[in-house]
Amino acid sequence: MAKQKIVWTAVPYGRVTEGPHKGCLRVSVVVSPRLTPVSADEQKLGAPGYAEFHDWPKTLSRLKLQLQIAGVPGLLPLDVLQPADSALWQALFSADTPVAGFKYQDMSRVNLRSYAVRNVLGYVREHYGKLAVSAAGTHPTLLPWKNAEPSLKGMLSDAGTRTVSYTTGHSVIEQALPGFDRFFDPKEGVDRRLGSLVFGSKSHYSAPVVGIDGNRSGMAVGVRALPPDWADPAANGPDKALMANFSTASEYTLYQANRFYKRSTPTDAQLAMRRPDLKNLAPAPVIEDFDFHRIVASLADTPAVLRQLGLIIDCALPASNAITAALANAVSVDGILGIEVLWGDPHVATADAYPRTAYRASAQRFLPQERTADHARGLMALGGTADPTLYPVGRYKFSSGFDVFQLDPDGAALMALLAGSAQSMISPSWRSTAGVSANDATMRWKSKSSIIGAGARFFRSGRRIANCASVGVLRL
């Protein structure tokens, strides 16, 4: 027989603004159905095992929703503020709507590739400005390396370009050391070493688990992501084994940006191929029909539609309740609440889930409690946010974990990665101070990339670690 599970999540949602319940505390109940067919004839929504979802708004009309507040005996009856629309439900979900079954995707074992926007834009701002001034009338000289334009040479050196000098008689030969390409060597590349340090089940990094009330639980989960900032291995810090693979902070940042866009390493056969031969192509991916769960998920950005369908249910608390009573003697009240459902007819309620939500109530607001300092009173905590690349280190004390930039981060990162391509031009060249050979003809670096403004964009520094911790908690 088909299996069915409904997750009922109560979300504090301020106060009712109009109607007979005006001023009452309000919660939104989010309904997340998970339908699982067991046999082939249960892969349609019209199967008998999904009878409650043949007309979900009609099913809701006979349910009673109640609120449980932690530490308060009894249950509070909730008044539904808006009935769901059966006509809309049946227009979107017919008896022939496919049901593929709910599939949980464990993202805790997925490697998270990202890069610190503030570090990339700081690199671009520093060196791009110098190049614009020093090479305003012509492209900067790249080769011979000993005569490279100082600003361009500084940019590439900051990106990890290194050379070694040899003295032979009356000559000094300068040879480029392995540059950016060394990271992607299939045998000796850093990707292989990072597999054991970071990107694997035995990652050396972890993050604390934060509970719904914002307090640490004492547990930790593995993190499969690189730390956002480089630490000098000479300091013998805990990251020494990882950071020793990179010579500068900018090289570390550009490696992360490169790896973000370069999702796979080409094979030797692909590298030897100048142009695709269009042979032995893999078949086009099969596009599956939108099943019931995908249709519901696609409506996530249209809460008004979800309310009409009864998948978000706005409810008012009674005017007299424990939260309102507590506010009479306090500026704000914190607690935990959850929804309970009385079906009134046969239903396997034990299969359902009723997660709890931490709340914070005040005279003005009634919202979920913040788990981190990134939010305050239901809003992003953007106070003190600035562009850190505009200020020397130590000159501006940031009170926010967010940065604000007015540049296109993708365009800036891709422009910065051109430093890697410039390195490949330097690597095969040997430069001698004794005379000039035919191979020493001047080569100029021609980059037509420009930095494009993109309005104000906000970024959370170190967000990747929090993301890894969040998906890791789901596996505990």
Residue 393's pLDDT is: 57
- What are the tokens at 420? 């890697």
More confident: 419 or 168 = 168
* Whether pTM exceeds 0.85: no
Torsion sign, CA atoms 233, 234, 236, 241: positive
Q: How does residue 476 score in pLDDT terms, banded at 50, 70 and 90?
A: very low
pLDDT higher than 50, residue 51 = yes
pLDDT higher than 60, residue 107 = yes
| CB 355, CB 89: distance < 8 Å | no
Give the range with max mean pLDDT: 235-244, 325-334, 410-419, 464-473: 325-334
Rounded to the nearest 10 degrees, the angle between the axes of helix 418-426 and helix 150-158 is: 100
Residue 420's pLDDT is: 64
- Averaged pLDDT for residues 386-397: 69
Q: Provide the percentage of residues in the chain whose pLDDT is more than 90.
A: 33
pLDDT higher than 70, residue 328 = yes
For 378-431, the three-class secondary structure string (H helix, E strand, C coil) is CEECCCCCECHHHCCCCCCCCCCCEEEEEECHHHHHHHHCHHHHHHHHHCCCEE
- In this structure, the number of other CB atoms found within 10 A of the CB of residue 273 comes to 11
Residue 473's pLDDT is: 47
Q: How does residue 83 score in pLDDT terms, banded at 50, 70 and 90?
A: very high
pLDDT higher than 80, residue 355 = yes
Q: Provide the percentage of residues in the chain whose pLDDT is more than 70.
A: 86
Q: How does residue 286 score in pLDDT terms, banded at 50, 70 and 90?
A: confident
Residue 194's pLDDT is: 82
- Averaged pLDDT for residues 272-282: 76
Q: What is the mean pLDDT of the chain?
A: 82
Among residues 105, 423, 100, 87, the alpha carbon closest in space to that of 290 is found at 100
Residue 431's pLDDT is: 39
More confident: 59 or 389 = 59
Own/partner contacts of 431-438, CB < 8 Å, gap of 24 or more, are 431/144, 431/145, 431/146, 431/173, 431/174, 432/171, 432/172, 432/173, 432/174, 433/146, 433/171, 433/172, 434/170, 434/171, 434/172, 436/144
pLDDT higher than 80, residue 56 = yes
Identify the residue whose tokens are 């570390």.
252
- What are the tokens at 391? 């200020």
More confident: 425 or 285 = 285
Q: How does residue 399 score in pLDDT terms, banded at 50, 70 and 90?
A: low
For the segment 420-467, what is each residue's pLDDT rounded down to a tens digit?
A: 666 666 655 443 333 333 334 455 555 545 555 556 778 787 777 677
For the segment 155-173, what is each residue's pLDDT rounded down to a tens digit?
A: 888 888 888 888 877 777 7
